[in-house]
Structure formats: C-alpha cells, structure tokens
Structure 1
C-alpha cells in the first residue's frame, strides 16, 4: 500500500489545537486529554471559565463543509426536540487571519485544510445490552431520533442504501491494488456474488422508506448514564438509509439471542415510531456491506501511523482469506433470510 497521511493532519500538535480554540474565544487552562477516535483528532479541554469542552478536528477531505454542517444541523434539531444528543456550540468570530466560520449558526471553524467544532463534554459508559430493559430504552431513544430524522432529507450526506457502498469499496480496493494479486480473483468473485445478493434483497423491499440516521449505531457509540439512559455524542457517520441500519448493530450472539434482543429493541422503538418489518431481511445484507466497506476504510487510512498499530492483522494473506470465508458465510446467511 502506498497511501499517505492526509496533508496537515499529522501537524495537529496539542499547541496548535489549543491555539485554534483560543482563536474562537475558548481559552484553556492547560488541562487536555486526547480521546479515542480513529477518524478525527478529538480532545477534551478544561476552559478557564469553568466548563469542560470537547473539540473535534475533522480529518481533511473526508467530509465537505456542507456535509459537516448537515451533521451539526441534525444534532441541533435533535437537541431542540429534547432527544439526548450532544450538539455543537456556536463559535465566536476568530481573532486570527486565515480562519473563518461557516454555518448558521456558525458551528464550524475552517483554517486551510483544518476544520473543527466544539461541544460540551457529556460522559457516560457503555450500555449493558444483556439487560432487556436497557435494550427497550435504547429502542425508544432511536425511535425518537428517527422521528426527527423523518422530518426532512439530507441533501449532502452519503446514502447507505443498496449495494452502492459495497461497490464503491470494491472498486477502490481494486484500483489501489490493496488485495494481493494471487488472491484477487477469489476475493472478487465472493464480493461480486455478495453484491448480487445485496441488490436482490433490496429489490425485494419495494418502496423502501429512508430517513436521516445516526449511521453507525453500534454499542461503542452509545453512552449510558443511570439517570438519563442512552445518548449520542456526535453524528460523524450520519447518513440516509432505512431505519434498520440504526438497529441491527445492537444485536449479537447466536440466533436465539439476536431474536430476543431484537424483540426488546422493537418493543421500545414501536412505542414512538412505526417500523416496516420487511426491513428485517436487510440485516444480513447490511452486515455484508459493512464488511466490504470496512476493508476499504482500513486500506484508505493505512498511511495514518495509528492504523498499523491498531490493526496489525490487516492486509496480509490471512486477512484476505478470512474475508473470503466470511463473505461466503454472509452469502449463506442472506439466502436463509429470504
């Protein structure tokens, strides 16, 4: 692989991030903690006037300004509807040349290739998904998010519908020689057959309703507090898609466990929002799309030094052999779901 780190991202030193925050009126007292994030640079800082803030410096070229502002607007709409969501702050006009604000309200600061937003800190822990009451509460929470998501469409965020995300990932991996040549034909055959099955699954659900989604609703992205329950801290992967996209990643274990978990989630979800049960047949196709997309995501980010450290198993023959095997298993799962 010959990918290089996004220009300017490696130069985001602590001093530069603190200087950027000060330029929009947020003076820090020196206490700073880098938070876990592969896509962005995210820091927690203590401000001199008391509050604790979280600043997110976006990976250059990943999203356009318009896409980020749609994420922010969705978060603000959710917060206004009292859906537990951490929304970005409106920023003060910058005091340095070369930096400007965008958005109405102005929630995004832009300086060359670097862009950042700031929000209040909101802590929590991972939810206990083995508790039926917790799953039901999360179902209600996501339904409330979807009620707001239905009110208007995204214009700029990506669409997570059908096989297109898998097609784009396949084409990128081939164009960048990410799959070893001696394994490429077998992997490509598995991917192409998967894409055909994904397409057929979507064709079996005509007039599929899509809406604005969280987009990456796995347990690690949900924070839980005992008194307030679940909340999200950002919408970095917000997209357009079917409702089931925000539900299926909550399910784990064997088939019986998944059915029981799904029943709890839907019990809560349907308290606020109707659900098209035909979408259940899209769970395995969505899982397959995510697998193919994940391979391309890792390959695209391989020039970032954090990725070889975090994912040392990626890219060798064992990895691609495993992908071929798992795609075969997904094909069987999609056939059984028909």
Structure 2
C-alpha cells in the first residue's frame, strides 16, 4: 500500500518539511530523476543548494534507513567518496513530516559515467575494494540479506501470489526456471565458500559520478549484506570482447584492499537471473504508483512475461552447461555473447 501524501508530494509540503528542521528555503524546488523515492534540489537562504530525499513508505523501517546512514558515515570517516546525509544540531539524520520520512543531503556535482576506460578500472577497483573493506568490519542488524529465502523467494512469492502471470503454463515455466537459478546460486555459495558482508547492493554506472577528485559512489538505498560479486557484475564487462583483461585491471586495484577469488565469479549468472525476478517484483509491488505505470507500460502483459520466462530458461540452460565445464567464467560462451549488462536494467538509458 502506498501513502497518498507520498504520491502527491507538492511544493508546499516539501518546503515546509525543510523549514521544520531549521532551513530557510528561497522557494526554488526542482524534482530530480528518482523513481523509488522522491528527491528534490532545494535552494536555501544564501544561495546554497541542498537535496531533500523523501523515502517511499513501507519499504524500509526507520531502523533500516538509519543503518544505511550509519554505514555511509563509516565510509566517509574512512575517506571513501560517498554522500552521507547532513546531521541536524541534535545529531539526527532522519526527520519526519506529515508521516513521511526524509533526510537532507549535500549537493554533489559531477559527470555521470557513460563508459569505463581501461585507466578507470584500477581506480574503480580500489574504490570498491575500500568500500568492501569497511563493509567487512561489522555485520548488519536490520537490513536484508542477499539469500534465497530473504531476497529471491520473497520476490518470486510476491509475483506468484499476486497473480501477475495470467497464463498457468507460463507461470509453471517461470517458477521452474527461477528455482533453477536459486538452486544454482546456493550451490555456488556452498561449494566456493563465498563470504557475505555489507555491500552497496545496486552498484552500476548510473550510481557513479566523476569529478575532478575522481569517482564518487551514490545511492546506498539497496545496501544489504551479500556476496561482493553483486557489486561487480553490473559494472564490469562480462561476455564482451577483451572482458577478461579489463576485469583483471579492475581486480588489480580491488585486491590492494580486499581479498577476492576468481571462483566467486561463478555467482554472476545466478545473480543476473535473481535480478530479473527481483526487479519484476519491485515493479509489481509499486504498480499503484502512476509513475511506474508510465515508466513500464508493457509490464504484466503476456508478451512481457513470455520474454522474461524465455530469458530465465536461457540462463537455466547456461547453468546446465556450466556444471559440465571446468571454468565457465574464464571463457566466453555463446550465452555470454547474447547477454550484456544492458539487458538487466529497465532504466539503463536514463
């Protein structure tokens, strides 16, 4: 269920919320491109600009949001270039206005990353390696875990329970292919003994900006505890020419700060499949929000689910081939050539 005040946020509520914690806005209020939350660029007295972020109701609890903020403060303390929310005079980063939870952030300017050059990769590897080094220092208390029961099955159950796939035969195929991916994920975790710790969770190029100081990583809204590979596969070239040598440049930088085994890359394909299911459930859960209906007009159609099912089945066939190969990730397979990172983001062009 979506809070009506969140869906109908207006300038009066936005500006009064900012005023309630001591800021004096000039009246300039610009909505920024954000689907999950509502984010605004606000000018305050003196010409300074701040960012106010209203969190989507019923997604995270306040304790879970606070844990995200605390992680950001840890990263900032370690001189890792992230954006952490601004504390008020009482030392609070979370605020409430008419039942909505919000936070104030500094404005960070820079260029969105379109493509990564070879010279970028070691620098980016060091950045993610440092992030993961801090992530290993303690466990989460309130955030979710990237496990089959806590992450993948919950997403699949939401789709099935909601009756989003109207064709019963297609439903069975979709469920079977999804569980094939889930089983593969758990098998790789067990056989490779892959550790879990705090990670970004949604680390793709859209969440990177470049300034004169170098890379900064943004948007820890999906922060959780999981395998480090989740923060690699959306950034690095897999299934593209020269991908192996480019990945090694990244890992040269990464290993300066964090350990990594190439065998962990066997998680990539099941993680891709899990992301298909997770994103479909993400859209379904927010379908009452008109912005989602406008952004994903084909969601829920037979054509949509048919394509999703065939893609999952294609990956399932790949898992079967992988089980027969000695080192499936070290080689470029036919399946890898067919799929690229762009296939796993509805908003990749934005």
* Residue number in structure 2 paired with 1:301: 286
What corresponds to 2:164 in structure 1?
Answer: 178
| Equivalent in the alignment of 2:26 | 29
Give the TM-score, by structure 1 length: 0.90
| Number of equivalenced pairs | 322
Report the alpha carbon displacement of residue 25 of structure 1 after superposing the two structures with TM: 0.7
Partner of 1:161: 147
1:270 equivalent to 2:270? Answer no
Over 3 Å counting, the alpha-carbon distance change for 1:20 and 1:72 in structure 2 is: same
Aligned to 1:202: 189
SS of equivalent to 1:191: helix
Query: 1:168-247 residue pairs with structure 2 within 5 A?
Result: 168-182=154-168, 183-206=170-193, 208-225=194-211, 227-247=212-232
Q: Work out the CA distance in 1 between the residues paired with 2:217 and 2:25.
A: 25
Partner residue in 1 for 2:17:
20
Structure 2 residue corresponding to 1:151, chosen from 133, 137, 149: 137
TM-superposed deviation, 1:7: 3.9
Residue 276 of structure 2 aligns with which residue?
Answer: 291
Question: Which digits, 9 at most, give the CA deviation of each residue in 1:281-331, with x for residues without a partner?
Answer: 111111111111111011111110001111112110111010111101211
- Mark the runs of 5 or more structure 2 residues left unpaired by the alignment: 324-350
Structure 1 residue 60 corresponds to structure 2 residue 62: no
1:101 matched to which residue of 2? none
* Distance change >3 Å, CA 138–CA 288, structure 1 → 2: same
Match of 1:108 in 2: 94
2 CA distance for matches of 1:112 and 1:166? 33
Secondary structure at 1:61 match in 2? coil
CA shift for structure 1 position 146? 0.9
- Cα distance in structure 2, aligned partners of 1:130 and 1:222: 11
Inter-partner Cα distance in structure 1 for 2:238 and 2:114: 14
Q: Give the structure-2-normalised TM-score.
A: 0.87
Provide the rounded CA distance (Å) in 2 between the counterparts of 1:114 and 1:181: 38
1:166–1:292 contact (8 Å) kept in structure 2: yes
Aligned match of 1:98:
none
RMSD: 1.8
Structure 1 unmatched ranges of 5 or more: 94-104
Shift in Å at residue 80 of structure 1? 1.1
Contact 2:114/2:205 (<8 A) preserved: no
Secondary structure of the 1:322 match is helix
Q: Greater relative contact order: 1 or 2 (C-alpha under 8 angstroms, separation 6 or more)?
A: 1
